[in-house]
Amino acid sequence: MTKPFATVLEASTSLNNKTGSWRTKRPEYVQSASPCNVVCPAGEDIRLWLALVKAGKFYEAWKIITKDNPFPAAMGRICYHTCEKICNRESFDGAVNISAIERSIGDMAIDQAWGFENVTVNSGKNVLVVGGGPSGLAAAYFLRMLGHDVTVYENHLKAGGMMRYGVPRYRLSRCVLDAEIKRIENIGVKIVCQKKITDINAEIDDFDAIYLAMGAHKASQTGVEIKNKPNIIDAVDLFKKVEDDFTNFLNLGNRVFVYGGGNTAIDAARTALRLGASVKIIYRRTIHQMPAHTAEVNEALAEGIEILCLRTISCIDGSKVFVNKMNYDEEYDILTPSGKTEILHADSVIFAIGQSVDVNVLHGAKNIKISEKGTIEIDKNMTTGIPSVFAGGDVVSEKRTVTNAIGHAKKAAGCIDAYLRNTTPPLDIRSEVTNLKKLNVAYFKKSAKITAPEWQNISFEERNISYSKKELMTEASRCFSCGSCFHCDNCYGYCPDNAITKRANGDLEINYNYCKGCGICATECPCGAIKMVSND
């Protein structure tokens, strides 16, 4: 049984303040993971670079970001920021606006022409990256920084992959994308565009390793019956045509229907709207079940795009679109045909029902296996059935986001480097996560996040919402620094026995000769950086 406080104090005095002999628990300073760091597919150390931004060290923050992600300006625009959804501050007064801070730091880097450090080591190894999208370009960056020579083969007119051919200009300015790609080229990565590989076997002997990152640019097939040559275009083809010939817009007509409910469908609808059409989205389930990001759906609705839910297209005959209405049982999550059909009239129909991987490049590569879902099979080290051939991004995963692709690239680069140097790939170490219960939020004052002013412009012009330097520091200061001491000195001030001392550099340490294990320091720690452990 724990002794009363008065007894503890008396005992500590009689023992000349040496209390460790009877203490049951002792405090320890810990560095545990923050939720935002854990859920970031790219593995960014968000907590650390937010602390640097808070201190006004913007260049240093950019360097920390780009250790894990070479596209901060792009990612600050198009990432769906799962980090904010799990931010411990969300239930307090709103999550830290991490994406806006990252975007602003990325824009600052472009404005001030910050570049990556020159590569001074040379391994003598040559790596081929197939695909110049986010995973391919990121892998090329990581591999080059590790000292390898890297060549990227890109099938399209320009590099960027789905960042260019899947994300419209109003969400990601091409000046921003081009600047961040150019920065990768500047460290010696060779990008060869309009280079299509038809047989991977022909490349194996010319390179020490190959990373397959072709993305998923092939339109998924649909069972819709097609008659009398209607004007149909796939969403990815739409984006490509608009991108490669931006000054010569497509004529989709006035009445356009988009079939699908994901982010691609929303982007296709908003693109068609900007091409002068009146747009409606046809989706088979309810609007709340759309896989598209909620913010994107709301922006589409605000722009006047109508969403026709609980409908499927059965046939397109010329300009006629035959739509079956569905019944939905919410309790059992079951869709059933209602037996009712309506006929809509369209000048164009855009299919946005998903993309698949074009595996023709693997023709003849017998040891590389394709899963039933059409993705390349890899092991835990990102290796295919051929030891020197690795794969990542959309070609191996159905979770097709740019951030996920970058995370794959970073892991693959580490595994490729280990293969080339004949060493062990780096381990994936996971730390204990600091949840809200481990924080003392009473320490913090409530302050709502800084949001951008309302803005609506139905054009391809990008919305500028970057923070000023003052706003950057203010918003970053809202970070709880979950699991990492930020030297508030609460433990030092609250300790009743003066068991915590300061070193010359400001760091704190615990003198266990005086600590009685009361736990006040852990309770008063705002960020959960002190843990009570067994005194055994």
Q: Which pLDDT value is given to residue 103?
A: 96
pLDDT at 466 over 60: yes
Rounded average pLDDT over 461-477: 90
The mean pLDDT value of the chain amounts to: 89
pLDDT given at position 216: 79
Angle 418-419-421 (CA atoms, 0-180°, nearest 5)? 65
The confidence band for 303, taking pLDDT boundaries of 50, 70 and 90, is: very high
At residue 444, the pLDDT reads 94
Residue 119 in any domain: the answer is no
C-alpha separations of 7 from 10, 12, 76, 117 in Å: 5, 8, 56, 60
Residue-wise pLDDT for 403-412, tens only, equals 999 999 999 9
Q: Which residue has better confidence, 1 or 133?
A: 133
Asked if 299 and 366 sit in the same domain, the reply is: no
Q: At what angle do helices 174-185 and 98-111 cross, to 10 degrees?
A: 70
The arithmetic mean of pLDDT across residues 107-136, rounded, is 95
Please give the Cα distance from 60 to 306 (Å, whole number). 45
- Among 421, 449, 465, give the residue marking a domain's end: 421
For the cut 80, the answer to whether the pLDDT of residue 263 exceeds it is: yes
List pLDDT tens digits, range 313-346: 999 999 999 999 999 888 778 888 898 999 999 9
Instruction: Answer yes or no: do 233 and 335 share one domain.
Output: yes
Could you tell me the two tokens for 232? 């149909």
What is the separation of C-alpha 91 from the centre of its chain, rounded to a whole number of angstroms?
A: 22
**Same-domain check for residues 344 and 373:** no
**Who wins on pLDDT, 29 or 373?**
29
Rounded to the nearest 5 percent, the helix, strand and coil shares of the chain are 35, 20, 50
Q: Does the pLDDT value for residue 219 go beyond 80?
A: no
The last residue of a domain, from among 332, 354, 376: 354
DSSP character for 83?
H
Q: Which of 136, 145, 134, 124 is nearest to 195 (CA)?
A: 136
Bigger pLDDT: 359 vs 433: 433
Domains contained in the chain, number: 4
CATH of the domain at 130: 3.50.50.60
Amino acid type, 16: N
Average pLDDT, stretch 440-448? 92
**Average pLDDT, stretch 423-431?**
82
Residues 311 and 243 occupy one common structural domain: yes
pLDDT at 320: 95
Q: Is residue 511 part of a domain?
A: yes
Q: Are residues 298 and 404 in the same domain?
A: no
Both 207 and 236 in one domain: the answer is: no
Domain boundary among 354, 384, 411: 354
Q: What angle do CA 232, 237, 238 make, to 5 degrees?
A: 75
Same domain, yes or no: 337 and 362: no
Look at residue 218 in the predicted model and tell me its pLDDT: 76
**pLDDT for the residue numbered 15:** 40
In a domain, 426, yes or no: no
Least confident span in 40-49, 112-121, 147-156, 236-245: 236-245
The answer to whether 375 and 357 are in contact (CB under 8 A) is yes
CB 357 within 8 A of CB 135: no
Which of 240-244, 307-311, 410-414, 476-480 is the least confident region?
240-244
Q: What whole-number percentage of the chain has pLDDT above 90?
A: 69
449 vs 134, more confident: 134
- The DSSP secondary-structure symbol of 220 reads P
Same domain, 446 and 409: no
Residue span of the structural domain in which 109 resides = 35-114+439-476
Residues 6 or more apart in contact with residue 387 via CB below 8 angstroms:
419
Q: For the ranges 78-92, 100-114, 176-190, 422-436, which has the lowest average pLDDT?
A: 422-436
Query: Does 289 or 430 have the greater pLDDT score?
Result: 289
Instruction: Identify whether residues 157 and 207 lie together within a single domain.
Output: yes
Q: Are residues 89 and 69 in the same domain?
A: yes
Q: CB neighbours (10 Å) of residue 289?
A: 15
Predicted local confidence at residue 215, as pLDDT: 86
DSSP 431: P
3-state SS class at 140? helix
* Residue 199: pLDDT band with limits 50, 70, 90: confident
* pLDDT of 84: 94
* H or E segment and range at residue 403: helix 402-421
Residue 504 sits in a domain of what CATH number? 3.30.70.20
Confidence bin at 20 (pLDDT 50/70/90): low
- Quote the tokens at residue 213: 């990152």
Q: Is 12 inside any structural domain? A: yes
Instruction: Find out whether 133 and 393 touch, Cβ atoms under 8 Å.
Output: yes
Beta bridge partners, 315, equal 225, 322
Q: Does residue 528 sit within a domain?
A: yes
Is residue 446 pLDDT above 90, yes or no?
Answer: yes
Rounded Cα gap, residues 386 and 496, in angstroms? 63
Asked whether residue 513 carries a pLDDT value surpassing 80, the answer given is: yes
| pLDDT surpassing 50 at residue 16 | no
Task: Summarize pLDDT for 122-143 with one digit per residue, the tens.
Answer: 999 999 999 999 999 999 999 9
> What is the separation of C-alpha 368 from the centre of its chain, rounded to a whole number of angstroms?
28
Same domain, 258 and 346: yes
In a domain? residue 427: no
pLDDT of 438 above 90: yes
Burial of 144 from C-beta contacts in 10 A (0-12 / 13-18 / 19+)? buried
DSSP 16: T
Reading the block at residue 94, the tokens are: 């709103």
139, 413 in Cβ contact below 8 A?
yes
Residues 154 and 91 in one domain: no
Cα(256)–Cα(258) distance, rounded to whole angstroms? 7
Establish if 412 belongs to a structural domain: yes
What's the confidence (pLDDT) of residue 453?
67
> Parallel, antiparallel, or unpaired: how do β-strands 232-234 and 348-351 relate?
parallel
Residue 63: CATH number of its domain: 1.10.1060.10
What's the rounded mean pLDDT across residues 515-529?
93
Residue 490 lies in a domain: yes
